[in-house]
Structure 1
């Protein structure tokens, strides 16, 4: 059974997700809004958080370094460690690199497509990173979530993408609730990605949001919560 998935995001009033671009407000600063968001993240006590490749690359900041260990690699699942909390990255083609097995103390798990070469898997294993390789080149996200639950005991997961992975997960019917912290700011960029992105046709007709509540939060922010159906 897949984990319960909450998509947790911080957004400007116009739906953009990069606080570095936000306008200023007399009610708070970007740092204070980010601190409110981190407080929400911690309070949810999820077993794992999940992001896409681009977001994880900003955190890992490592470059390719081939493994020095010869021999076969393990497929489809390699468990480098078990932990109380996990950082999960979706990386279909195996472009992410790490120099250790955790991000901020959360053990890393990478979800990969079947075409990823053995050399990349060996590199991940040597760095202490766990991974799950899909049966096909395109990752079946539902199967990947089932694997996270079965092999790592993940029951509650925070989806904190990139708009691309958020959109893919919502379109696949894998997100149970959406929580968006709205900062008192605007972005205004014409070509800046929003909190959800899903191609030219978007998500019209594929999802319904049922309002559950709105809660004023510190520094002028508001938390909106929806059930996703």
Structure 2
């Protein structure tokens, strides 16, 4: 039995690998909604216990402002479990502790935040007071393999859907932690020279790594 969840990278891209739908070429009326619906349908079919995104992607959904509680005398490190045994989890990788949330779930999925070691107590207190679980890494940079082990051991996550952006996807691929790729290819183009793809990993890319 594996000590980490099975990781399925599930993404949608243009024909030329572009990540951002806002950059896609003009499409027939209603087409983008159909593509989104197809993506969500496959998401459900894959049956993940959790889905995971990077900070930038989660910020579009969290939409919170800093609101640390005035009293935070007792802070749990390295882990705080606000909701054990949730039906599904929404996981954010936030090494620098920049995310703030308006509620403890994303569309009903309980939030877990993976943080770097230098996160301030005030930020942890904010998450805990919001009913949000968190895991603090042992270093500034989050060890993805160790984080996956913790997610399985503490939250019972066996099947995780990795859903971008490109940077966090690239980090998982580079670490050899992606077991399966599920890709919805929209019949459209981007054509930008410097467009980020659905997988991105520095200037050298993934040559020789995957």
Q: TM-score, normalization: structure 1?
A: 0.88
1:135 partnered with 2:101: no
Give the CA deviation at 1:22. 1.2
Distance in 2, matches of 1:55 and 1:102, equals 15
Give the CA deviation at 1:24. 3.1
Greater mean deviation of Cα atoms: 186-195 or 46-55? 186-195
Greater mean deviation of Cα atoms: 187-196 or 37-46? 187-196
1:164 partnered with 2:167: yes
Distance in 2, matches of 1:79 and 1:22, equals 40
Q: Residue 81 of structure 1 corresponds to which residue in structure 2?
A: 83
Q: Residue 13 of structure 1 corresponds to which residue in structure 2?
A: 15
- Map of 1:177-216 to 2, 5 A cutoff? 177-207=180-210
Q: Residue 71 of structure 1 corresponds to which residue in structure 2?
A: 73
The 1:72/1:42 distance shift into structure 2, 3 A limit, reads: same
Give the CA deviation at 1:25. 4.0
Distance in 1, matches of 2:161 and 2:182, equals 10
Distance in 1, matches of 2:45 and 2:27, equals 26
Could you list the runs of 5+ residues in structure 1 that have no partner in the other structure?
Answer: 208-229
* More strand as a share of residues: 1
On the 8 A contact 2:72/2:121 being kept in 1, the answer is no
Distance in 2, matches of 1:68 and 1:189, equals 47
Give the CA deviation at 1:15. 0.3
Distance in 2, matches of 1:131 and 1:66, equals 15
Distance in 2, matches of 1:74 and 1:46, equals 28
Distance in 2, matches of 1:28 and 1:127, equals 37
Could you list the runs of 5+ residues in structure 2 that have no partner in the other structure?
Answer: none
Distance in 2, matches of 1:5 and 1:191, equals 28
Q: Residue 23 of structure 1 corresponds to which residue in structure 2?
A: 25
- The list of structure 1 runs, each at least 4 consecutive aligned residues, that deviate by more than 6 angstroms after superposition, is none
RMSD: 1.2
CA deviation digits over 1:75-121, x for unaligned, max 9? 01100112010000000010000121100100000000111011100
On the 8 A contact 1:2/1:155 being kept in 2, the answer is yes
CA deviation digits over 1:136-168, x for unaligned, max 9? 111100000000000000000000011000000
On the 8 A contact 1:27/1:184 being kept in 2, the answer is no
Q: 1:173 aligns with which of 172, 176, 191?
A: 176
On the 8 A contact 2:72/2:122 being kept in 1, the answer is no
Distance in 2, matches of 1:153 and 1:205, equals 33
